Structure 1
Amino acid sequence: MKRDLEYYLNLPYKIEIEPIPEEDGGGFVARLPELGRYAIVGDGETIEEAIQSLNEIKEIMLKEWLEEGVSIPEPEEEQSIEEFSGKFVIRIPKYLHCNLSIQAKRNGVSLNQFIAALLSEGLERHRHVSIFKEVLTEIKKIKRHIFEVKNKMDTRLTMDIVSISQMDQVEEHEYSKAA
């Protein structure tokens, strides 16, 4: 299947909607977290307006990314929690098993509870690091875009200055002929 703009526009990306606090102007913000939490964002007074804004920005950004050859992630398949039993087997070195058991006893919990807490903390930390990396990537994209815009503006300004200088020279030449 051809992966063109229409293809990506019709993919079922998850939309994240959050209210904007009244002290920040109120309304709603809509995001596509699978494309980068801050990469494509829309806002509006109502949820519908936020989604409409999001879809407009989504089309603009996807078109730009396709033109630039940027790799566009596709939506992840959702897994139902019913697919999981809550149990899995993991093989670890004996010394690690021993250390985990000692720490669980010191904390007054079972080994299972202790490991579940460690996994939960580690997963949350991993999620925060992932979000940080996404934000950093977005900042780098914005920085690159600002640099590109600045270069274009500098080029245009230089061209304008050269044009004005040339026009002044032509006017001076014509004025000196007329005098």
Structure 2
Amino acid sequence: MTYPTQEEINKVHTQLVEMRYENFIHQDLFSFQWWFLLSLFVLPWILWWLLVDKNRIKDIWLFGSLISILIITLDDLGIELNLWYYPYQVLNIIPRLNPIDISVLPVFHMLVYQYFTKWKSFIIANILTAFLYAYLAEPLFVKINIYVLTNWDYIYSVPIYIGKAVLIKFILEGVLLKSKGA
């Protein structure tokens, strides 16, 4: 049995980059989906700036940054494992859905973190938002061909939406408590 060489893999990768570029220029750019994704990239940050508690902005921003890193990592993993893919992009050079990964999800997670400071209310709010994301937003994105599930089901997303928010809050509160106690 022969295995692909790094040179062969790089050749296929180069072809893929060229194909993505052509697809972006002729299919994605200025389409309804492109404008929709561009608005999802910008509008949540405007909303966030209007609603964010400026007195807690450092903690909220840190929560959002950490959750965004986790979201990007999980999205890259899902794409690499062929669990889903995104036919439309704002930028063709990035296969993940950046308007969601670094705008919509982090912004709404930060707002939940800001408004639901107690653990019980935070978990309940995250359960509700997880179901909204999984059963309202994801199907909408599938319907308008922004999100394609290949080996994934909506129900799998629910514990991930909840778990990542709880994990980041747990880590952040531990770090903040230690830094305030030091």
Q: Provide TM-score, normalisation by structure 2.
A: 0.26
Structure with more of its chain in strand, by fraction: 1
Structure with more of its chain in helix, by fraction: 2
Larger Rg computed on CA atoms: 1
Q: Which has the higher contact order (CA 8 A, sep 6+)?
A: 2
Q: Provide TM-score, normalisation by structure 1.
A: 0.26
